[in-house]
Each structure stands twice: as structure tokens, then as C-alpha cells.
Structure 1
Amino acid sequence: MIASKTGRLTSVFVTLLVLVLCLSAGPARADIGAYVLIDANSGAVIEQENATRKWYPASLTKMMTAYVTLKAIREGRATLNSTVVQSKNSQAEPPSKMGFKVGTKFTVDTALKIILIKSANDVAVALGEAIAGSEAGFLAMMNAQAKQLGMTNTRFTNPHGLPDNNMVTTARDMAILAMALRRDFPEAREIYKHPGIRFGKKTLRSANREFLLRVPGANGMKTGYICNSGYNVAASVTRGGRTLIAVILGAGSGLERTAFARQLFDEGFRKRGGQNVTSLRGTSGNPPANGYCRRNRSPGAKGYMARFDMENEKKGGFLFFKANRKNDDKVDEAGFTLANGKPDWAKILDRTLGPRRIAYRPITVGLGKPTGSPVAGAAVAVSVTDVELEDVPLPVANPVRRAEIEIREKLQKTAEASGAAAIVPTEDVRPGAAASTANAAPGSIFRKGMDFTVPVPAKSPLKQ
């Protein structure tokens, strides 16, 4: 009897010990919807959680936009100097955008750099129209390519990732796409490794810049954000001749996704992978309910330091408590607080990502010298042969965008009828959007009030 009780107590103790060790050894899992870490060459899965749960891709979508474009170039249906034209349809996309005037021409090379670094939505649509002849045709190509790559839970309904609950993916599928983009088109690595672009007098920073500038070996790839998805990233790091790719979906902030990625890589390079990412089958859940970003708040300064402080990681501290926000109060704030009591974000970045190892140097991008147009008709014919027509989503008219176009056309007609000068909107009419107040120079390629605008959340009616 005594031996039996002793055996049971020993079993319970061992179970608890194993649980504690597992919790302390693994990376932080708080406030992340889904993630997967793979070997970029073999596809072996090193870490994953909810990798097959459906999620909204946001601007990770642009990796497929780039893949389809680069494939068209490789097959001789386009070149880097092929012409892309800013259409009325593409120009009407909301920010993040470049805001070129309708009719502006630029090269495919310029478009690829802008969508992969700046993540401009209007340019993504214009590029798709150039490659396929229409936005709908390009969507058909994107979905055909997703099927060919084995992205079993992915459906694209636009080429940029702006909100549409019909457009879904998984961390597993995005890892397959990131691996294919890196493997099949190594030339793209020379684009998404850059932390920003300089266009004329404007400098536009990549949302992935701190990861690229601070994390040893970081060399890509793409970030994304909409409220329903939270903060997403597909990141890559090369160390000692080995490259890993991480896809993280649903972080509570840009810093959290970056710090979590850094931690995944640091631990992942000490491990070997297991099953191949393609062997992850089925789906482990539906996308989050609308308003995900309002429920999944930023951890705040203490939360970041509790979970991602590299100084404590070296000492073995906080490992057990990383997934529990209740333990944020145990963090000593003295080392990362300014004299006025506010967080010292420079120190927080240094301690959660590491100091900047590389100086910020954006690459210069211009309109280029476009020559000729892609062979759009051939592109669609080649790409949709293996996809049933009912499986190809067609773009749904955006009522806000359509209303904006109609308003502008009516204002223009009214101005012409009255003999006045053409009316140019001075701001984006989308509620809460901000616009530059600087006057556009004569002949400027930018529309006044539409250039490089940044969306600002509308005020809550409860606070007005």
C-alpha cells in the first residue's frame, strides 16, 4: 500500500516536473494566433502552434502577387521593364498607397520593390492588372498558383490583403509560399531584405525594418496588418549557412510579432526539424471573430520585457512566466523607463531585439523606363487551366471605393459645367483617413491629398 502511494506521488511529481520543463523550454506563446518555424531548404517543421488554423493574411498576400509576377517574367510573358499603369481602379485603393495620378506609368521592377518593401495597395492592383490584363484575371492566377503549391486552405480575393473575410490562409500555407518565393526566385531576396525605399524626396520605411536592422542574419520577408488579423509577418534568417523561415499570425503589436520572431529564431537554430510542413493537413480552426485587434491588445512595455528581454533570457529568467500576463507586474522597470516615467522604447528595442547592427539605408526607387506591356492574355490562359471556374473568386465591388469614384466624377462634371477649374479632392474621403496638406507641384505624379497617406482610426462615437 505504501509502495503504491509512493509510486503515485512519484508519478504526479514527474508529470509536474515535465510540464514545468516544457513550459520553460518553449518560446513565448502569449497573444499569438498561430505560428510555424521551418527549415527553408527542407521544409522541416521546427516549432508550430495552430499552423493549420485559418487566418486572414493581410499584406502577406503580396508575396503571392510577387510570386505570380516573377513567374510571368521567368516564362517570358513580362520583363522587369514592362509597363505598369496606374488605373482608376488601382488608384482608388485605400492606404497604404503611393497615390500616383491615374495614367502614371512605371516598371514592373519598380512595382515589385514598392509592394514588397512599402506594401502599397494601389501598386499591387496596378501590377496585377498589367500582368493579367485585369484584377479578376490576376486573382485567377493567384489562386491557381496557390493550388499548384499545395496551399490547401488559402483563397485570395484581392492582390494586396485589405479586409475581406472571404480571403483566408494558414501559417502552414504562408510558410509554403514563403519557402517557394525564396527557392524559386532568389532574385526577390535582393528586394525584401531592404528596410525602406527612397522615392524622390520621400523616404518610406518597411514595417519590417527593425527586424532586418537588429536581428543577426535577418534577410526578409513581409509584414501584414488588418484589424481582423492582428500583426502578421513572414520572416527569414540565415546563420551558419542555414536559413529558417517563420510565419507568425495574430500578434498584438508590431514589436510583439518582431520580438516573438527573434525568440523563435534564436531557439530554432539550436534545434532540428521533424515532419515536413506539407504533411500538416486539415484545419485546426476558423479565423478570429471581427475586431480581433481590439481584443488582442499590445502587451505594453512591461509585457514586452517580461517575455522578450534577452538579458533575462541569458540568465534563464522569466521563462516560466512568459505566457502569463499576471507576472508582468514582477518586472523591474528601472532599466527601461525615462525620467518622466514613460517607457524608454530605444532601450526596450535594444533589449528585446538587440542593438542595430546595420545602418538604415533605403534603396532608391523611381518610375524607371517602362517599355512595352506584359502579354496579359497568355498569362491568364496558362495559369487557370488547372482550376475549376467556380473555385476562382472574382473581386467584389468595394462600395466605399465606388462611392468615392462617383463623388469625384460628379464634382468634376459640376466644375466643368460651371466653367471653374477642375476640382481636386484635398483629402481622402474615407472616414478617419489622414492626408498631406502640402500642395502638389505642377506636373507632380502625385494626387493632392492622396500621396503616401496613412490611415488614422476614426474617433469612437462613445468618446465624442
Structure 2
Amino acid sequence: MLASVAPAKADIGAYVLINAKSGAIIDQKNATRKWYPASLTKMMTAYVTFKAIREGRATLNSTVVQSKNSLSEPPSKMGFKVGTKFTVDTALKIIIIKSANDVAVALGEAIAGSEGAFLAMMNAEAKRLGMTNTHFTNPHGLPDNRMVTTARDMAILAMALRRDFPESRDYYKHPGIRFGKKTLRSANREFLLRVPGANGIKTGYICNSGYNVASSVTRGGKTLIAVILGAGSGLERTAFARQLFDQGFRKRGGQNVTSLRGTSGNPPANGYCRRNRSPGAKAYMARYDMETEKKGGFLFFKANQKNNAKVDEAGFTLANGKPDWAKILDRTLGPRRIAYRPIQVSLGNPTGAPKAGGTAVAVAAPDIPAEDVPLPTANPLRRAQIEMRQKLQKTAEASVAGGIPQTAAARPGAATDPAPAAPGSIFRQGLDFTVPVPAPSPRKQ
């Protein structure tokens, strides 16, 4: 059947598309507007680490230790027990592919001696690279409204990563990791597996930023980089990136990204993700359907957007009337060209500790022991939800146990489970890889 829908909004806060070698801008919107980087922050965490390796202050086999401070970070995380040792190489793969926040902090502590010292290195590199509107307050990108960047600045960082450390480009191309018997998928996997020539780089998301991504694609010996900030969903940022690249390889660049000056606006107000919601299946297809693009070219496609486009839902709807997301992916990103093969990751064989600090930035690095770095403040909404869930759980357990709250023990596997980890386990109980298992609703018991 045919359904008439309003033209799909771009739902993108800011973006820029550049030539990775020259820095020439091919397309952009609000490229100098301040935005929250989310996990694109880990690009700088990786950059500072690669530089430490280049300068001989660390090696890929240097030791990283899970500290109490690093373990305190909220998910996404690996949840290794305090004292667990692994290599810098393992840490890099985990933060770039899995985007684990606890490992990002542990890596920073290993490279610089403390989280505070590592932040000084990050900001020093941002200044040196000319990232004029960027300020880092943590090494992972979790919410902090003091931490800002722009699409322009992140494009400069992405370009520097490729230019300065070409031997490290393979870190960005993997769609997932396999750690032991568990497989952890990258949020960038569909882009890497479906878009011709895709080879990186990093995704990010917090509510105040929406869905961000820094992507790169190589075709015919030419590489383009796109930075997209503030999409309404993971699929939208990926489909918009694919569309930018497909059009961008047909265009020539203009002014250099480094020539953009000043700032064109402040970051979005708190709660951006609640105002900029996912477009939905019809809107995705109205804007990103590759079959529509092929029929009339991009000019026809753009003209169609201005009017109420007719979207044939029959091609991407299941028999029960729900969207067939597998077909939507095929038609907005293209079919999978590469099989999903996660890279094997282990703790490795760490040897020796990095030489913390560096002469270029050591004087600016505060000497703060890792254990004295202030712990992050919990999201008040998430904290209230957890407290309410715990109260409901205790009430339910009290009714089951004859009115005696079960405070001495917790449900096995829960985040509050005091039982020791299994012998030889490297994971903190209840924090294996990602989010602690939530307590069951008392209504379902």
C-alpha cells in the first residue's frame, strides 16, 4: 500500500564532510556549533595513547590496571575486577570497538599516571591540533556539560589520527570483539559491514548529544571523513553518513576545514534526545531509500523531500504490519558486503608500566593520585530509578518472606550481589561487560 508522509527532517544537529588528506570541506552544516562529543572523546584518548607509544613512553604490551577509580565509571564498561592487568593494545581495542568507559579511564591512568594528568594531555593535544572549541573533562565522553567540541574540531582530530598514526588504522575497522566466550558488537558494525569502502572510526551517544559518529570511507584511492552530531537514532546517523559519502565522492572540496573560525552556536539544551526522537520506518525510507535515489538521482530525491513523498510500505513491512528492519537496512545502507567477524581480544601479556607523563605537557599535568580523583556524579534520574527499583524489590521480597526484608543477601547476578566472583574470574560480580542486571519487577513475580 502507499502511504503519504510528511517530508523527513534531517534531525542532524551539525555535520561536516572533508577530504581526509587535504582537509577540503565537501559539505557542512553548523560545523562550528558547539556540541557534546559523547564517546567521540575516545578518539582523543586513543590519539594521546598512540603518541605515547610513538615517543617510547609506552608500548602495545605495556600494563594497564583496572583501578577502583576506573571501575566506578557507569556502563558501557567491561567490569574487570580491581587489580586486573591487561595490555595497552587490548585497552585500545576495547575502547575503540566496545567503547568501554572504565577501560578508557584505566588506560589514561596507565599512560599519564593519573586521570587528571591524562586530561591535561588530552587538552594540550587539542590545543596543538587547532581544536579551538574543544575542551575535555574526562577520557570517555560520559555526560558533563563542560565538555564540548564541534564537528569541525572532531574532523580535525579524525584527520590527525589517520595522518599521524597510519599504522593504527586497523583498530577502527572491526565490527565487534570476542572476549572469551562472549561477543560484543560495535555500534558502528552495520556501517562497516554494508557501506562500500567503510573503514572507521567511532560512534558516540549521550542524551544531551544525540547520536554522534565520525566515519571514514575510502574509494578509488581517495578517503573522505564525515563527522555527524545529533542524529535521532543509530540508524539515522549511519544512513545519513552513507548518503553524505555517496554524494561526497561526486563532488569537489572547497575551503579547508582548519580555516573555519569562531563558533556558530551553543550546545543543545539538556534532554536533546527527548526532543529529537527517532524518525521511524516511514521517515527513514522517505529520506534514505537507495532505490529512490537510483531512480531519479539526488536532485529528484531532494525535490521529492520537499513534497509529501509517497512511500511504498509494502517493500519493508512484515505480514503483521510491523517494519521489516532487515529490509530497511538493506535499502538504506545496502546489503551486507562483509561477513560479521569480531576480532579476538584477551588480557594479553602485559610487561612493564608506561613512563607516565611527557615533557611537552608534564608541567600542566596536576599530580593527582588515581584514588583521589573525584568519582563521577551519578545521573540523578538514573539514581532515582535505581533507588525506586530497590525499594520495590525489598517490598516484594518482604511479602514473599513473611514480612522480613532480605537485606542480608541479594539476587544472584544483580549489581548488589555480595557473593565473591567465581575462582579465577576477572570480572566484578554483576558487572560482567555492560549494564548490571536489573531487579525483576515485583508485578511479575
Choose from 82, 93, 103 the match for 2:73: 93
Identity of aligned residues (%): 83
1:427 aligns with 2:414: yes
Distance 1:206 1:137, change over 3 A: same
Corresponding residue for 2:319? 339
Separation of aligned partners in 2, 1:457 and 1:40: 43
Map 1:305-344 → 2, pairs under 5 A: 305-316=285-296, 317-322=300-305, 327=308, 330-344=310-324
Corresponding residue for 1:258? 238
Distance 1:222 1:455, change over 3 A: farther
1:2-54 CA distances to partner (integer Å, 9 max, x unpaired)? xxxxxxxxxxxxxxxxxxxxxxxxxx861000000000000000000000000
Corresponding residue for 2:343? 363
Separation of aligned partners in 2, 1:441 and 1:314: 56
Deviation at 1:186, TM superposition (A): 1.2
Choose from 137, 152, 174 the match for 1:172: 152
Deviation at 1:314, TM superposition (A): 0.7
Deviation at 1:455, TM superposition (A): 7.7
Deviation at 1:443, TM superposition (A): 1.5
Deviation at 1:66, TM superposition (A): 0.2
Corresponding residue for 1:199? 179
1:56 aligns with 2:36: yes
1:375-427 CA distances to partner (integer Å, 9 max, x unpaired)? 11x42x43255x699xxxx97542339xx9xxxxxxxxxxxxxxxx9999943
TM-score, with normalisation over the residues of structure 1? 0.81
Corresponding residue for 1:411? none
1:116-164 CA distances to partner (integer Å, 9 max, x unpaired)? 0000000000000000000000000000000000000000000000000
Map 1:266-415 → 2, pairs under 5 A: 266-316=246-296, 317-322=300-305, 327=308, 330-376=310-356, 378-379=357-358, 381-384=359-362, 397-400=375-378
Once the two structures are overlaid, the 10-residue window that deviates more, 180-189 or 131-140, is: 180-189
Choose from 424, 428, 440 the match for 1:443: 424
Distance 1:73 1:90, change over 3 A: same
1:278-312 CA distances to partner (integer Å, 9 max, x unpaired)? 00100000000000000001010001000000000
In structure 1, give the amino acid aligned to 2:305: K
Deviation at 1:337, TM superposition (A): 0.1
Separation of aligned partners in 2, 1:277 and 1:456: 44
Separation of aligned partners in 1, 2:436 and 2:430: 12
Separation of aligned partners in 2, 1:216 and 1:78: 35
Corresponding residue for 2:222? 242
Separation of aligned partners in 2, 1:187 and 1:229: 31
Contact (CA 8 Å) 2:212, 2:229: kept in 1 or not? yes
Once the two structures are overlaid, the 10-residue window that deviates more, 309-318 or 330-339, is: 309-318
Separation of aligned partners in 2, 1:240 and 1:457: 49
Corresponding residue for 1:7? none
Separation of aligned partners in 2, 1:242 and 1:29: 30
1:162-191 CA distances to partner (integer Å, 9 max, x unpaired)? 000000000000000000001111122111
Map 1:90-129 → 2, pairs under 5 A: 90-129=70-109
Separation of aligned partners in 2, 1:128 and 1:362: 25
Contact (CA 8 Å) 1:29, 1:323: kept in 2 or not? no
Separation of aligned partners in 2, 1:111 and 1:103: 14
Corresponding residue for 1:208? 188
**Greater RCO, 1 or 2 (C-alpha within 8 Å, sep 6+):** 2
Separation of aligned partners in 2, 1:272 and 1:371: 48
Separation of aligned partners in 2, 1:384 and 1:299: 47
Structure 1, gaps ≥5 residues long? 1-27, 405-420, 430-434, 459-464
Q: Cα RMSD (Å) of the superposition? A: 2.7
Separation of aligned partners in 1, 2:287 and 2:436: 30
Q: How many residues align?
A: 398
Separation of aligned partners in 2, 1:456 and 1:240: 47
Separation of aligned partners in 2, 1:456 and 1:370: 31
TM-score, with normalisation over the residues of structure 2? 0.85
1:301-352 CA distances to partner (integer Å, 9 max, x unpaired)? 001000000000011254224378xx36x31211100000000001000000
Separation of aligned partners in 2, 1:443 and 1:61: 33
Separation of aligned partners in 2, 1:104 and 1:396: 21
In structure 2, give the amino acid aligned to 1:335: G
Separation of aligned partners in 2, 1:228 and 1:106: 32
Choose from 35, 49, 57 the match for 2:15: 35
Separation of aligned partners in 2, 1:208 and 1:144: 28
Map 1:110-149 → 2, pairs under 5 A: 110-149=90-129
Separation of aligned partners in 2, 1:264 and 1:439: 50
Corresponding residue for 2:138? 158
In structure 2, give the amino acid aligned to 1:287: P
Separation of aligned partners in 2, 1:439 and 1:315: 61
- For the residue of structure 2 that corresponds to 1:190, the secondary structure is helix
Contact (CA 8 Å) 2:210, 2:229: kept in 1 or not? yes
Corresponding residue for 2:4? none
